Amino acid sequence: MTESADRPDPPLLELDEISVMRGDRLVLDRFSLRIGQGQHTAILGPNGSGKSTLLGLLTREFYPQSGHQVRILGRARWSVADLKQVIGIVSPSLHADLAAREPGRGPLTAFDAVASAFFGASGVWRHHVLTESMRHRTEAALARTGIDALAGRDMATLSTGEARRVLIARALVHEPRALFLDEPCGGLDPGARRQFLETLRGLARGGTTLIMVTHHVEEILPEIDHVVTIKHGRVTGDDAKARLLDPALLSRLFDAGISVECSGGWYAARVG
């Protein structure tokens, strides 16, 4: 057996004693986390616990204090182009960027919103060259998220749920190994939320690793078995879903009396 065959696969994401300051506030405090390849994970915590800052480390919006690094597949240094082949990020800020059209620009179709990911832009402009391969990958991503029929629609006419699936398709054009989802169901009504979550279930079953950042237990997919809980910028739990979605643990996490029910692989938490 070769040496490479003996070497274990590096984790998808690894943080060791990471601290992040935002202004004069310590948002992540000696934060350590390891997520393996193929390990669908929910990162659960109350508002202000540091969840979105964690994703900001991946997008280079925030940087850890000196001496510590964020490693993805065992590497700390990535080019932007290479990193997009590994992780896709879906966040409310991306939705806002696509919605904020420059004056004088025409409608942004769902197809162009997805295809523009190849150029790191918010649209496909005249100076962009969209190859046949890019077109095929855009069409495949739209079909994979079940919105190929919306390709020609103006983004401004889409429902929040439809637009959210456009964002996922945009991330999928690079065929990443993992998707990081920051509060993905925010603003969705119950019906749209369930439809959107079913789209995510299909991706999980198709081999895309999902890392979901949320403060809603109800959004944790049956396919997700690993849960990380965080509070005040620190990891408070890192274990199997069945162990961490416990009434006593959740009550301490959210500072409220919480009861938990489970049906068909879905969990529901209620206060009181």
Average pLDDT, the chain: 88
Q: Which two tokens stand for residue 253?
A: 């996490």
Helices (H) and strands (E) in the chain, counts: 10, 11
In the prediction, which pLDDT does 67 show? Answer: 65
Tell me the mean pLDDT in the region 41-51.
92
In the prediction, which pLDDT does 106 show? Answer: 73
Above pLDDT 90, what percent of the chain? Answer: 57
Helix (H) or strand (E) holding 14: strand 13-22
Query: Which amino acid type is present at position 61?
Result: E
Tell me the mean pLDDT in the region 262-270.
95
User: Distance (Å, rounded) from C-alpha 55 to C-alpha 153?
Assistant: 30
> What would the pLDDT profile of 15-43 be if each residue is shown by its tens digit?
999 999 888 889 999 999 999 999 999 99
> What would the pLDDT profile of 124-151 be if each residue is shown by its tens digit?
888 888 999 999 999 999 999 999 999 9
Residue 12 clears pLDDT 60, i.e. is over it:
yes
Tell me the mean pLDDT in the region 164-173.
92
Residue 81 clears pLDDT 80, i.e. is over it:
no
Tell me if residue 137 falls in helix, strand or coil. helix
Write down the pTM of the prediction: 0.88
Alpha helices in the chain, H assignment, sequence order: 3-6, 51-58, 80-84, 92-99, 110-115, 132-144, 160-172, 190-205, 241-244, 247-254
In the prediction, which pLDDT does 209 show? Answer: 95
Tell me the mean pLDDT in the region 36-57.
91
Residue 4 clears pLDDT 60, i.e. is over it:
no
Residue 253: CB partners within 8 Å, gap ≥ 6? 44, 45, 46, 229, 231, 236, 237
Better-predicted residue by pLDDT, 120 or 182 = 182
